[in-house]
Structure 1
Amino acid sequence: MTLVRQRRPTYVYPVVYQPIFCLVLQGEKQTMLGDRLVRFARLQSFVVGLDMPAKAQVVKASPREPYVALAVELDLNLINELATAVSQGALEDERALAVQSGETEAPLVDAMRRMFDLRDRHEAQPVLFPLILKEIHYWLLVSEQGSLLRQLAKKDSHAARISKAIAVIKGCYSAALRVDDLADVAGMSVSGFHASFREITGTSPLQFQKQLRLIEARRLIKWERLRVAEAAYHVGYESPTQFSREYSRVFGVSPRKDRTEVPHDLAEPAA
C-alpha cells in the first residue's frame, strides 16, 4: 500500500499507470486518457486494469486540506484466481474502459482501512496483509468498477486480447510496430482490434506506443540528463526533428527547453 499526499494542485503531468486501485480520502484529481477525462474526489476511487500512458492532474489540494489517497497495486494472477468465485452473471461482457472511477463501496473502504492499520503491526503483516489484499481484489471484482478486471479474467474477452497486445507494445516500444502484427497477437481482425483498442484505452495502438516513447524520453532528458538526440534515438525515433516536434506538441515545451527546467512535475504522485 502507498500513501499519496499532495499539498497543492499540480500541472498536468505524464504518467504510465500500472494496474492499480486508488481510494481518494481527500482532495480531487483527474486523469486524461486520449480524449477521455476521468475525475475522482473524496471517497471515490479509480481502478486501472492495464498498463496505460496517461496525463494526470491534482485539481484540489491545499496545505490545510491536501490531496490524500491510498493506492494498492493489483495482482492480475490473483484476479484470475478469484474470478472463479464470482457469479457467472457478473462475468457477462460489459463495456469496459482501462480506467474506471466511481463511489467506493463500504467493504472496500473498510478493507483499505484495515490494511492501512497494519503499517505499525509488523508482526501481523506477513499473516494479515495477504488476506486483506485478497479481500480487496475480491470486492473489486464484484464491484461496478470491476468490469475490466472481470473481462481480463476471461481469456477470450476483448480486454484480455488487448492486454496481450499492450504487453508487446510495452516490451518493445522503441521498435517499429505494425498494427497487423499486434492484431495477430490479439487473435483479432485488424479492424476489430483497432476498434477494441481505442474503445478500451481511448487511443490508437500507434498513439499508445508514441505516448510511451515520449514519456520515457522525457524521463531520460530530465532525470538521466541525456541529450535530446540521444533520448530520441533511445526510444526509437530516427529523426530528432520529428521527435522535437512531437515532444513539443504533447508536453507544450521543446525537449531542449524542458531539459533545463526544474523537473517538478515528474515528481508528482502516480496515484
Structure 2
Amino acid sequence: MGLEELCALIDRHARRGTPPVEGLLLSRSERPTAPEPSLTGPVLALVAQGAKRTGLGERTYEYRAGQYLVVTVDLPVTGHFSEASPGRPFLGVGLELRPAAIADLLLQHATAPGPARPPGGAVSGIAVSTAPYELVDALVRLLRLLERPADRPVLAPLIEKEILWRLVTGEQGAVIRQIGLADSTLSQIGRAVRWIRDHHASALRVGELADMCAMSASSFHRHFRAVTAMTPLQFQKNIRLQQARLLLMSRDDDVEDVGYAIGYDSPSQFSREYRRQYGLPPGRDAERLRGAERGSRASRA
C-alpha cells in the first residue's frame, strides 16, 4: 500500500480536522498557492501527492510525491503548494523533530549505522531525499492511530521513535544526528538563530554571536551561511520583516510604529525593505492581508 494508503489517511483526516497525534501535521490543498513566509522549526515533511516548493534565502527546494524534506533548525522560509488540483489535491504529512527525542535515541543506540558527521563539516538547514518504504510505512501506522485514540498513548511514542530511527540511519542521518547533539555545529548555530529570533529588534553584534557558538568570526560566518543560506544580518532582516507582517495583519498599528518596534530607526528603510520582500508597501500589504482574512472568515460562516 505505502503512499496510496498514506494519501487516503491524510485526505480523510485533513477533511475531518481530526485532532492529531502531538507533533503531527497534515496538509491538504486543492489548488496551487502563492508563496507565503513562515518561521519553521525542526520538522520532517513528506509529500504523499502533488508537489511543494520551499525557499530559504537564495535556495529553492522542490519535493514531490514520495520525497521528504527535513528542516533542522528554526528558519524563516517561504513555502507554497506547487502542484495541486481538485481531482488530485496536494497531500502531505509532517512531524516535528524534537531534539530531546533524537538525543535520547542516540544515547541508547550510539552505534547506529550511518556517518556521524556530514561530509565536509558544513551543515545545511534543509535537505530533501526520497523516502524509503520503511519510513512511509511507519508514517502510515502513525496516521492509523488517528482512528484508534485508545492506542495512541502507548503506540504513538513507539512509532515516533521508529520514524526517528529511519531518519537517523537514512540518507540524511548525519544531518538529523546533529539536531540531537548538544555540541554539534548545528546545535551551536541553532543557539545563534534562536538569539536572533528572540532579540530581532536589538543591534546585531556578530562577534558576540560567534563567541556564543565558541567559534571564530570567520568559522561562524561560514557555518551560519551553510545552515541558513543567509548572513546573520540577512537572517535578522528576514525575521524582522516576518514579525512586522504579523503585527500589521493582526493589529491596527501605525506603520512607522511597527517599524520602530521591530528595530528599524528609519521608516523609509523599513518601507523599502518590506516592499522588496513582499512586493507591496507595508500599509497596502496589511490592507490586502486583512481583506483576505475577512473574506476567508465570511466564506466559512
TM-score by length of 1: 0.93
| Number of residue pairs aligned between Structure 1 and Structure 2 | 266
Q: Which amino acid aligns with 1:51?
A: D
* Alpha-carbon distance in structure 2 between the residues aligned to 1:90 and 1:193: 23
- Indicate which of 76, 83, 89 corresponds to 1:53: 76
- Which amino acid is the alignment partner of residue 233 of structure 1? Y
The correspondence of residues 170-249 of structure 1 with structure 2, limited to 5 A, is: 170-249=197-276
Distance 2:40 2:283 in 1: 26
SS at match of 1:23: strand
Deviation of 1:60 (Å) = 0.6
1:71 equivalent in alignment to 2:97: no
Opposite residue 209 of structure 1, the aligned amino acid is Q
**2:9 corresponds to which residue?**
none
1:39 deviates by 0.7
Alignment partners' CA distance in 2, 1:51 and 1:220: 20
* 1:91 and 2:116 matched: yes
Match of 2:58 among 32, 35, 49: 35
Question: In the alignment, which residue of structure 2 is the partner of 1:148?
Answer: 175
Contact 2:118/2:175, CA 8 A, preserved across alignment: no
- Equivalent AA in structure 2 for residue 206 of structure 1: L
Q: Mark the runs of 5 or more structure 2 residues left unpaired by the alignment.
A: 1-23, 297-301
1:4-15 aligned within 5 A: 4-15=27-38
Quote the offset at 1:26 in angstroms: 0.7
Name the SS for the 2:156 alignment partner: helix
Aligned partner of 2:145 in structure 1 is 118
Measure the CA separation in 2 of the matches of 1:171 and 1:98: 19
SS in 2 for 1:144: coil
1:219-238 CA-partner distances (Å, limit 9, x unpaired) = 11123333212221221212
Q: Secondary structure at the match of 2:172?
A: helix
Match for 1:67: what amino acid?
A: F
Q: Which residue of 1 aligns with 2:105?
A: 82
**Which shifted more, 35-44 or 142-151?**
142-151
Post-superposition shift, 1:89?
5.1
Larger Rg: 2
Alignment partners' CA distance in 2, 1:22 and 1:89: 21
Deviation at 1:148, TM superposition (A): 2.0
Equivalent residues in 2 for 1:157-168, closer than 5 Å: 157-168=184-195
SS, match of residue 160 in structure 2: helix
Structure 1 residue 150: Cα displacement: 1.5
Q: Is the 8 A contact 2:46 2:67 kept in 1?
A: yes
Structure 1 Cα separation of the partners of residues 182 and 252 of structure 2: 42
Deviates more, 1:141-150 or 1:72-81: 141-150
Aligned partner of residue 24 in structure 1, secondary structure = strand
CA distance in 1, matches of 2:88, 2:53: 17
Q: In the alignment, is the contact (CA less than 8 A) between 1:19 and 1:73 conserved in 2?
A: yes
Q: Given the two structures, how large is their TM-score scaled by the length of structure 2? A: 0.84
For residues 51-107 of structure 1, the C-alpha deviation after alignment (integer angstroms, 9 at most, x for no partner) is 000111211111111111011111100111112314375213434311111100111
Query: Structure 1 residues 92-101 or 243-252, which shifts more?
Result: 92-101
Q: Secondary structure at the match of 2:124?
A: coil
